[in-house]
Amino acid sequence: MTDIVELGENLYEGTTQNWEEVVIKSEIPVIVDFWAEWCMPCRMMSPVFKETAPEYKDKVKFIKLNSDENRDISMRYGVMSIPTLGIFVNGEPIDGVVGTVPKSTLKSKLDAVLQKIKE
């Protein structure tokens, strides 16, 4: 088992090493924040992402993945600009958002995914 670093309530660090465990094999949907240290819009998105995570505990897992340190994952999913939020269900990307979005948009995306998988 790979070390999984907890960054906050329901918020974890994603890496190339733990990707399989935290995203692909997750039993609940996962939202991944593809970001980088130098990216100012990423810094604006980060508090929104962190603040939203506890509201979806046990429903959606929140992962932050540093694109510079994990380029192979970013390239695998075609992440061309950051921040990009990718939503994964059963290990497959099913939705996402590119750019900084308000909390309401983030929540409506997640709620739509949760509704869809209930059907």
Closest CA to 34 of 90, 95, 97: 97
Catalytic residue among 32, 42, 45, 48: 42
Beta strands at 84-89 and 30-35: parallel, antiparallel or unpaired: antiparallel
Distances (CA, A) of 9 to 16, 50, 62, 81, 87: 22, 8, 9, 27, 18
- Give yes or no: 39 in active site: yes
Return the H-helix or E-strand segment holding 89.
strand 84-89
Return the H-helix or E-strand segment holding 14.
strand 11-14
- Give yes or no: 5 in active site: no
- State which amino acid sits at residue 84: T
Catalytic residue among 32, 39, 73, 106: 39
Mind telling me the catalytic residues? 39, 42
